[in-house]
Amino acid sequence: METDIIAAVATAWGEAGIGVVKVSGTGSRDLVNGIFRSGRPLSEAPPRHMNYGRIVDANGEAIDEALVVWFQAPRSYTGEEVTEIHCHGGSLVAKRCLEEVLSAGARMAEPGEFTRRAFLNGRIDLAQAESVIGIIRARSAEALKAATRSLSGEFSNRVKEVYDKLMNLSILIEAGLDFPEEDIPPLATARAMDMLEEISLDLSNLIARAKSGNLLREGIRVALVGRPNVGKSSLLNAFLTEARAIVTSIPGTTRDLIEEVLTHKGVPLRLVDTAGIRRPSDEVEAIGVERAHTALREADVRVWVIDGNEPLRDEDREIASHLADKPHIVAINKADLPLTVTKDDVLSLLPDSTVRIISAETGTGVEELKDDMVSLFAGSGTLDEGLNTTARQLEELHLARQALAHSAHALEGSLGEDAAASGLSDARKNLERILGIAADDSLLDAVFSNFCIGK
């Protein structure tokens, strides 16, 4: 349990209607009362009621008129005694109020420390705490809904359900191992496998919902790749409906990566326009081509843009060789002119590819191409049931599923109940790291360092 008092400006810096200085910790009410002048002291004011007065400096001079409210523990955001100063908006006035609070004995809060205290005081679990940053950074209504579902505890509840089933199975398997003198009959392999299959199915369904939520949270990184002068930059501009990238008839105009974000059907698309992939003509272009290859490797989805008015070249075939084992879509561009390249030409190089005929100039097929990008990465599942998750949480779920697979392999291969129990234990630990049951300081530091100061 924390004992010191922390403070920070909880609202964004800059001009606004109000600015809020948040103070948390035992004694926060009395600390703020020392710089607050009103008709009655805060000690006589009931919690959760606004009190009008003035914030003053050490000389008793007024800094601002303000409303002050205090919250009694544990009925506050952090679970501690919390006091808030609602002053006029503006960077200077909020800063001055914060300075007086710090001078009175509080210390500056670290990033995410208010939410960290809420977790440590049992107000929320770690999964709920991480959903707070998802709400703050939501880029669409769908992402906000997913984050709100997780903050309300829906993600935590689903994880706990899987965890409880894991625990029950572990108890049944380990009982005979831990108490051999009791002659406890071993759990039948068929029964254990049935229980494992049910847990694995629950975990797979949870991963699908978590993946959708992570998609809404982080977005899809889409690399626009192709040889020079095929229309990649024109396509970026068509996506954005504005002239973001320079477009000329001179091959190799784009020398560096250009990144922009748009939201399509609630999903953020992180578009990366790359330099044309070919044998570079100078050192600068060589750097651009290398960065294009890096973007191609690291993207979630690659959109290979082809000039449909020219026969496929060796450069095109080389690009196709890099896409064979990666999620990709092929866009045959310049459909506003007579086409030379056909879908069959593309499919002969990359069978089973999604091929879209488009015109970046007129916009033909551009909206459908956006649909393709979302569908390719999101799959056929709906995003409506997505649960806001971080990459860390999703990785823990995947590791838990791998551990269950090891347990199933141990049971099927007669490796013994010890090996199966070990896999179940590993899976439980993964879920405990999501819920915060087994959260050490290094994990908490990693989670809350992503928060802003004041949250």
Lookup result for tokens 């490797």: 297
Say how far apart CA 346 and CA 355 lie, in whole Å: 8
- At 177 the pLDDT is 54
Contact 330, 350 (CB under 8 A): yes
> What average pLDDT score do residues 164-172 get?
90
Q: What is the mean pLDDT of the chain?
A: 85
pTM here is: 0.72
In this structure, the strands spanning 6-9 and 328-333 are unpaired
Picking from 320-324, 340-344, 354-358, 393-397, which range would have the lowest pLDDT averaged per residue? 320-324
Output the pLDDT for position 413.
76
DSSP, collapsed to helix, strand or coil, labels residue 12 as coil
Q: Quote the pLDDT of residue 1.
A: 44
In this predicted structure, the answer to whether residue 262 has a pLDDT above a threshold of 90 is no
Strands (DSSP E) found in 237-392? 258-264, 267-273, 301-307, 328-333, 354-357
Q: Which domains does the chain have, with CATH numbers?
A: 6-125 (3.30.1360.120), 132-216+390-435 (1.20.120.430), 219-378 (3.40.50.300)
CA distances from 241 to 246, 281, 361 (A): 14, 31, 11
Structure-block tokens of residue 313: 């070249």
Across 330-345, average pLDDT: 92
* pLDDT class of 383 with cuts at 50, 70, 90: low
3-state SS, residue 429: helix
| pLDDT at residue 355, rounded to an integer | 93
Confidence of residue 404 (pLDDT cuts 50, 70, 90): very high
What is the secondary structure of 149-190 as a DSSP string? HHHTTHHHHHHHHHHHHHHHHHHHHHHHHH-GGGTPPPPPHH
pLDDT tops 50 at residue 195: yes
pLDDT of residue 253 exceeding 80? no
Of the CA atoms within 13 Å of residue 37, those in its CB half-sphere come to 12
Decide: residue 440, CB within 10 A, 0-12 exposed, 13-18 middle, 19+ buried. Answer: exposed
3-class DSSP state for residue 24? strand
Token look-up 């024109």 returns: 234
- Residue closest to 409 by CA, chosen among 192, 203, 173, 207: 192
Mean pLDDT for 413-419 is: 74
pLDDT of 282 strictly over 70: no
Kindly state the average pLDDT of the residues 97-105: 95
Q: How far apart are CA 196 and CA 405, in angstroms?
A: 9
Q: What angle do CA 313, 317, 320 make, to 5 degrees?
A: 140
Q: How confident is the model at residue 251 (pLDDT cuts 50, 70, 90)?
A: very low
Q: What is the mean pLDDT of residues 220-226?
A: 86
- Peptide bond before residue 268 is cis, with ω within 30 degrees of 0: no
Q: Which pLDDT score is estimated for 185?
A: 56
pLDDT at 186: 60
Lowest mean pLDDT among 289-293, 371-375, 387-391: 289-293
Residue 77 pLDDT exceeds 70: yes
Of 76-85, 181-190, 249-258, minimum mean pLDDT range: 249-258
Question: What's the one-letter identity of residue 209?
Answer: R
